[in-house]
Amino acid sequence: MTNSQIGGKRGKGRRQAPRSDLNKAASIFGSVAVIRILVIYGITILGLIIGLIYGNIHQKGWVSIRAELVSEEGCHEEYNNKGKATGKKCDYVVLYTVDGVVNNGSLNNVPRQTILYGPQGKQQIEIEYNPKNPSQIGTPFAATRETLNIVLPIVIIFFSVLFYLFYKNRNNRVVKGIAGVSWAVNMIRR
């Protein structure tokens, strides 16, 4: 038997027709779209990591106490960009004692705090103060920190997996198509 009877000469296989200009343009557009997505995911991952670091050092070591509420004023409703109410923000003036010294402090434009009742029915709110500078106060951040330490690593892992998948398959036609369609839809929406 000859090569032609078996099915032809083994080797490189069938020659492909040269790529058309349209195919080249689509491939370049897809490559640029994939690179754009990789840059966006990379910036997002870095921003989330910075947010995680900031969340863990912001008010770290501050002491949580109850402060006597002197006044609650300037309360106003906050709205998002769609005009929907997101919550109330208020200004608070408080008195609190640190190492036997009574301090006067204020919290401006903070989310509305839960009013607690202390001895003799005095209104109080929870605050945190900096032990190195007791005049520096803020709203409690420990619960927010705990939530950030759970949520942000999950989101970072999710975006890292997406980044890896897009990077590993950056030359794949399907990935280029998905990235290209996503980019085109974003341009059309604007």
List the chain pLDDT tens, one digit each, 190 residues. Answer: 555 555 555 555 566 656 676 667 767 777 888 888 899 999 999 999 999 999 888 888 898 999 998 888 888 888 888 888 888 888 999 999 998 899 999 999 888 888 888 888 888 999 999 999 988 998 888 788 888 899 999 999 999 999 998 888 888 877 777 777 887 887 787 6
Please, are residues 129 and 62 in contact by the beta-carbon 8 Å criterion? yes
> What's phi and psi for 54, nearest 5 deg?
-60, -45
d(CA 129, CA 97): 10
CA 127 → CA 3, 51, 53, 95, 176, distances in Å?
Answer: 87, 22, 22, 10, 51
**pTM score of the predicted model:** 0.65
Give the E-state strand segments of 99-143 in sequence order.
Answer: 101-111, 116-117, 123-130, 133-138
Relative to beta strand 101-111, strand 133-138 is unpaired
Amino acid at 93: V
- Please name which of 78, 69, 76 lies closest in space to residue 137, comparing C-alpha atoms: 69
User: Angle at CA 102, nearest 5°, toward 142 and 67?
Assistant: 35
Q: Distance between CA atoms of 50 and 47, rounded to whole angstroms?
A: 5
